[in-house]
Chain A
Amino acid sequence: MFYREAGQFKTNYVSDQAIFPILQDRIGVVVILLAAYVVVPWINDDFLTNAVMIPFLIFALAAIGLNLVTGYAGLLSLGTGAFMGVGAYACYKLTTYFPDVNILIWVIASGFVSAAVGAIFGLPAVRIKGFYLAIATLAAQFFLEWCFIRIPWLYNNNISGAIEVPQRELFGIIITGPRATAETRYFIVLTIVVLMTVVASNLVHGRIGRMWMAVRDMDIAAELMGIRLLRAKLLAFAVSSFYCGVAGALMVFLWYGGAEATVFSINQSFLILFMVIIGGLGSILGSYLGAALIFILPIVLRIVPPELGLPIRAATVEHITFMVVGILIIFFLIVEPAGLARLWQVAKQKLRVWPFPY
């Protein structure tokens, strides 16, 4: 049909190594970007931007981060929530000490703090792997969560124990704090997420990504081929934590506007792990699809029964939501263990050879 690569010849290395080698893919990406940058603000619905798009993008960023370490490097990490927290608290401390520096610089800088912490907690990966490692990363989760509660310095000795986002400006426009409009925050989140996605995509298509995948597929073989395991694994943890840290900082500064340590609890880690697994391990696109599904599913489940006029109490809806999410997770795993990204691959292949079956 319209999705064909016939006639598109790759005549040099640059076009051969492009992230989107097929013209139709490039058009698709441009359409999606246009939709994100033009159509969503044009609809100008506060619920859509504030409660759907901003969280979706932030979760997608965190999912990409986890996917880098779990999907590409094969190291199962359950400390995502805590690494997001490190980013958020680091950003908060940095902007308290240096209020005049542009907040976006601190958002990125807090990613580096998170990366350092992630690399430290990634150290056990050198000796252990698999589920043993997963539980070891839980140590990071619980220890860091404890720090967020017990070290008052981290939240400037607030009595409430929460961090509150101060008002910051960029080119005279208020971008954080309670007075920032949803639209401004949306544009900033979108831009950061798009840029970081491009970086991640280049990373996994390049030497580093191949190194990670070799480690994932069989680490001893990778070591024999000259990959330094220590470096590869720590780098994976650091880069992953960098992404999670930025996502955490964005989450607090551009979505919640304030947060307590409970936001970065183990449930957050599990939620993002769901996104990665349902979306597809080792796929950037999958991170987006998984984030969309897992984040939007409960919203839909909450909205649909009252719309249908079913008289269900709020608590019951909550319980049923839990059950349905659980069933759907198992269902998706049974139907497509490789994740939603795999569905897109299958669809692409079908389109390519259409109208023939193969």
Chain B
Amino acid sequence: MALLYGIFIDPFVQMAQAPDLLVQTLWEGLVGGVLYALIALGFVLIFKASGVFNFAQGIMVVFAALTFVGLHGKGVPAFLALALTIVVMFVLAYGVERVMLRPLVNQPDIILFMATFGLTYFLIGFGELVFGGDPKVMPAEDLYLPKGPITIKALGGMIGIQKLDIAAAVIASIMVAGLAVFFSRTRIGRALRAVADSHEAALSVGISLEQIWVIVWFAAGLVALVTGIFWGARSDVSFALEVIALKALPVLILGGFTSVPGAIVGGLIIGVGEKIGEFYWGPLIGGGTDSWFAYVIALIFLLFRPQGLFGEKIIERV
């Protein structure tokens, strides 16, 4: 009885009694969700255009952030380091297409998936070899990112909001809007959507698959860089970030592999659900639930919509 009370009544009583705490938790969940959404966005971009489930997106985030911090640490001015990192991400995209994707064209999905595992291993080893494995501090103020909290008196308590988180949310929305315009208005964007619809048809109207893949991986690399900068500014830049990327996977099944809005909405749902779940229900079962809570949310959604919230309807023929 006490257990039932603890599960079904007590958390809601707590929420009603301390609405400021609830709003604070919601906000933190939303901010975490934005970052999950950004990682998921990188996955979706690549999956849409090349059908590759890019497991390396997480390590690409780390690698981009690490390159930026490493260059900055060597005395390169912040914005030059940023530009150089963008160049590095382009080289990476080109290399991946040339060395990995091109010889593996037309292989089953699982083989390409495994190849991105190989890429993950390579990037882990390479990153640690060049920049060292110790955590580094992201020079956020050199990029003119705001720091410090804003406290709002509301709902009978104080709600603290980090300025950095607001900046992250704003820049993420600008980036998503930019990508949306790029996809729908530009020539390359339309070519990208054509490739996403059908490789053969795109080839037949003269779209170069190789070029498109480089662009898509480069775009994913840019998204990874932005994610890495914000994540790095919240905590340190270290390889521990790579584990957090695994959290973006439930976002994908929730939102659907092929949907950009799905990645955003899914990220926010997972971020909020995870924080609320851990804060109000976590203590009942010993805490630390955030490692799997996201997956449970995603699984429950999957029971009702097997293709995710915004995924394309699965039509199967024999």
**In the assembled complex, A149 has its CB within 8 A of some CB on chain B:** yes
> A142 contacts which of B53, B129, B291 (Cβ < 8 Å)?
B291
Task: Give the CA-CA distance A146 to B296 in the complex, in Å.
Answer: 13
**In the assembled complex, B141 has its CB within 8 A of some CB on chain A:** no
> B306 contacts which of A128, A220, A221, A323 (Cβ < 8 Å)?
A128
* Contacting residues of chain B (244-302) with chain A, CB-CB under 8 angstroms: 246, 249-250, 252-253, 257, 285-289, 291-292, 295-296, 298-299, 302
Chain A contact residues, majority secondary structure:
helix
B124 contact set on A, CB distance < 8 A: 322, 326
CB distance A132 to B306 under 8 Å? Answer: yes
CB distance A333 to B306 under 8 Å? Answer: no
CB distance B302 to A281 under 8 Å? Answer: no
A274 contact set on B, CB distance < 8 A: 114, 117
CB distance A329 to B53 under 8 Å? Answer: no
CB distance B253 to A277 under 8 Å? Answer: no
CB distance B128 to A326 under 8 Å? Answer: no
Closest chain B CB from A74 CB (angstroms): 9
Given A131-B257, A277-B111, A319-B125, A224–B286 Cβ distance below 8 Å?
A: no
**In the assembled complex, A252 has its CB within 8 A of some CB on chain B:** no
**In the assembled complex, A188 has its CB within 8 A of some CB on chain B:** no
* Contacting residues of chain B (156-186) with chain A, CB-CB under 8 angstroms: none
B252 contact set on A, CB distance < 8 A: 135
**Contact mask B2-32 → A, CB, 8 Å, 1/0?**
0000000000000000000000000000000
Interface centre among A273, A277, A329 (most CB of B within 10 A): A329
CB distance A132 to B308 under 8 Å? Answer: yes
Given A130-B109, A131-B257, A323–B129 Cβ distance below 8 Å?
A: yes
**In the assembled complex, A201 has its CB within 8 A of some CB on chain B:** no
**In the assembled complex, A139 has its CB within 8 A of some CB on chain B:** yes
CB distance A149 to B100 under 8 Å? Answer: no
Task: Give the CA-CA distance A130 to B289 in the complex, in Å.
Answer: 26
> A124 contacts which of B119, B128, B302, B307 (Cβ < 8 Å)?
B302
The interface size of chain A toward B, counting residues with CB under 8 Å, comes to: 47
CB distance A143 to B253 under 8 Å? Answer: no
> B100 contacts which of A139, A145, A330 (Cβ < 8 Å)?
A330
B299 contact set on A, CB distance < 8 A: 124, 136, 139
Given A139-B292, A145-B291, A150–B119 Cβ distance below 8 Å?
A: no
B288 contact set on A, CB distance < 8 A: 146, 149-150
Given A135-B249, A139-B296, A320-B125, A334–B103 Cβ distance below 8 Å?
A: yes
Given A131-B113, A146-B292, A329–B125 Cβ distance below 8 Å?
A: no
**In the assembled complex, B318 has its CB within 8 A of some CB on chain A:** yes
CB distance B292 to A143 under 8 Å? Answer: yes
CB distance B318 to A131 under 8 Å? Answer: no
**In the assembled complex, B126 has its CB within 8 A of some CB on chain A:** yes
CB distance B292 to A330 under 8 Å? Answer: no
**In the assembled complex, B115 has its CB within 8 A of some CB on chain A:** yes
CB distance A322 to B125 under 8 Å? Answer: yes
CB distance A136 to B302 under 8 Å? Answer: yes
**Contact mask A254-276 → B, CB, 8 Å, 1/0?**
00000000000010001001100
* Contacting residues of chain A (218-232) with chain B, CB-CB under 8 angstroms: 218, 220-221, 224
A329 contact set on B, CB distance < 8 A: 114-115, 117-118, 121
Given A142-B292, A145-B291, A329-B114, A321–B125 Cβ distance below 8 Å?
A: yes
Given A139-B292, A218-B318, A323–B99 Cβ distance below 8 Å?
A: no
CB distance B111 to A326 under 8 Å? Answer: no
**In the assembled complex, B107 has its CB within 8 A of some CB on chain A:** yes
CB distance A131 to B109 under 8 Å? Answer: yes
* Closest residue on chain A to residue B112 by CB atoms: A333
10 other A-B residue contacts (CB within 8 Å) besides A139-B250, A320-B125? A135-B253, A149-B288, A150-B285, A150-B287, A320-B129, A323-B125, A326-B122, A333-B107, A334-B100, A337-B104
What are 14 A-B pairs with beta-carbon distances under 8 A? A70-B110, A139-B250, A143-B292, A146-B288, A150-B288, A270-B117, A277-B111, A319-B126, A319-B128, A323-B129, A326-B117, A330-B115, A333-B118, A337-B108
Q: Nearest 8 A-B pairs (CB), nearest first?
A: A322-B125, A326-B121, A326-B122, A329-B118, A323-B125, A139-B295, A142-B292, A330-B118
